[in-house]
């Protein structure tokens, strides 16, 4: 295992739409700092993702071949979304766990603090700070004032850095005119791009869009793609996050609500998904019922009570949503 090392994807806010792919037998964080200094960049390279391989050179060749096959060109700096490089690394054979690293070898004997930094860096994406600031302005949390226009600007910046989750927010904000003028065409464009780079929730958002628009064929296509992607995607914090899973469950509960209230048609593939996640939908529906009761909205209270009952039936028979 002489070639054990990391295959990495580095991003830089000064190089939008570009990813640096390479390998190192040292700490990825150290290599990123070294590269930043060598190139004299105005902003540093950030470790978007790194994975340990038994043969890091072979791993890098695989990643490059995957990107080239998709039409992304470049030597070390490749014109490609960061997310595409991350997905290629995740698909590469020969990956090792961190505990497989032989720290008794002088070549791989890193100080504990440095190894901790390297491991921590794998959880930090180039868009993390911008995206979290956008969330702060969107929800008005922490020291941030709620400012949807500023949130929209920051979500755009996060998207330009390759953040899949940002596209869902940009799509939703354009769809409902939150922080920006309502524009359904642009909403779909953002959702399509988010789905293209791997965002699972964007497939769901498109299905929801077409369901409410009454476009049954498009709704079923998007719903089928969503169910397929969701079934194969782990919650990795990049292409699918815990908050997005919660968002999907809540949105499904609202679909039941709108079916009862407005007679919307839920696609067959999505009905199956909802049946399999009925317990989560019930939890969401009960929360919305409580909120409606707190606001003394008797009409909504009545519908949410019916929704809770319908979801109870859904636990036994997915076809209750077909009626």
Each residue of 119-132: pLDDT tens digit? 444 445 778 889 99
pTM of the model: 0.66
State the distance between the two ends of the chain, measured CA to CA, in whole angstroms. Answer: 60
Q: Is residue 217 part of a domain?
A: yes
Q: How far apart are CA 168 and CA 152, in angstroms?
A: 11
Number of folded domains that form the chain: 2
pLDDT at 275 over 80: yes
CB 80 within 8 A of CB 67: yes
Domain that holds residue 222: 198-321
Q: How far apart are CA 90 and CA 252, in angstroms?
A: 30
Q: How far apart are CA 82 and CA 113, in angstroms?
A: 27
The residue from 68, 100, 121 where one domain ends is 121
pLDDT > 70: percent of the chain: 90
> 28-42, 66-80, 112-126, 276-290: which has the minimum mean pLDDT?
112-126
Shared domain for 117 and 18, answered yes or no, is yes
Residues contacting residue 54 through CB under 8 Å, at least 6 positions apart: 1, 3, 4, 94, 96
Q: How far apart are CA 178 and CA 155, in angstroms?
A: 13
CB 58 within 8 A of CB 130: no
Q: Is residue 106 part of a domain?
A: yes
The residue from 66, 87, 121 where one domain ends is 121
Q: Which of 108-112, 160-164, 209-213 tops mean pLDDT?
A: 209-213
- Per-residue model confidence (pLDDT) at position 157: 92
Q: Is residue 136 part of a domain?
A: no
Structure tokens at 41: 């960049």
Q: Which of 38-47, 52-61, 64-73, 173-182 tops mean pLDDT?
A: 173-182
pLDDT at 156 over 60: yes
């Amino acid at each position: 295992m002489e070639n054990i090392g990391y295959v990495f994807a580095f991003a830089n806010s000064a190089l939008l739409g570009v990813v640096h792919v390479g390998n190192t037998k040292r700490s990825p964080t150290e290599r990123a700092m070294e590269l930043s200094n060598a190139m004299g960049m105005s902003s540093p390279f950030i470790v978007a993702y790194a994975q340990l391989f038994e043969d890091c050179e072979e791993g890098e060749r695989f990643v490059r071949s995957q990107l080239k096959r998709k039409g992304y060109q470049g030597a070390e700096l490749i014109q490609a979304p960061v997310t595409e490089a991350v997905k290629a690394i995740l698909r590469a054979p020969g990956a090792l766990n961190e505990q497989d690293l032989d720290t008794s070898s002088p070549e791989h004997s890193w100080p504990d603090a440095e190894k901790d930094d390297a491991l921590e860096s794998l959880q930090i994406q180039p868009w993390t700070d911008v995206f979290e600031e956008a969330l702060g302005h969107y929800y008005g949390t922490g020291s941030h004032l709620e400012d949807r226009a500023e949130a929209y600007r920051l979500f755009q910046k996060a998207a330009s850095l390759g953040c899949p989750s940002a596209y869902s927010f940009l799509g939703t904000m354009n769809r409902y005119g939150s922080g920006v003028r309502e524009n359904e065409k642009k909403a779909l464009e953002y959702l399509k791009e988010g789905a293209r780079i791997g965002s699972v929730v964007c497939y769901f958002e498109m299905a929801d869009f077409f369901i409410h628009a009454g476009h049954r064929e498009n709704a079923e296509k998007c719903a089928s793609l969503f169910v397929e992607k969701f079934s194969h995607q782990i919650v990795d914090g990049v292409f699918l996050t815990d908050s997005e899973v919660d968002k999907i469950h809540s949105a499904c509960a609202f679909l039941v609500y709108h079916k009862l209230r407005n007679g919307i048609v839920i696609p067959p593939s999505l009905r199956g998904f909802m049946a399999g996640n009925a317990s989560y939908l019930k939890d969401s529906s009960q929360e919305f019922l409580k909120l409606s009761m707190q606001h003394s909205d008797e009409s909504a209270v009545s519908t949410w009570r019916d929704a809770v009952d319908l979801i109870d039936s859904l636990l036994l028979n997915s076809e209750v949503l077909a009626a």
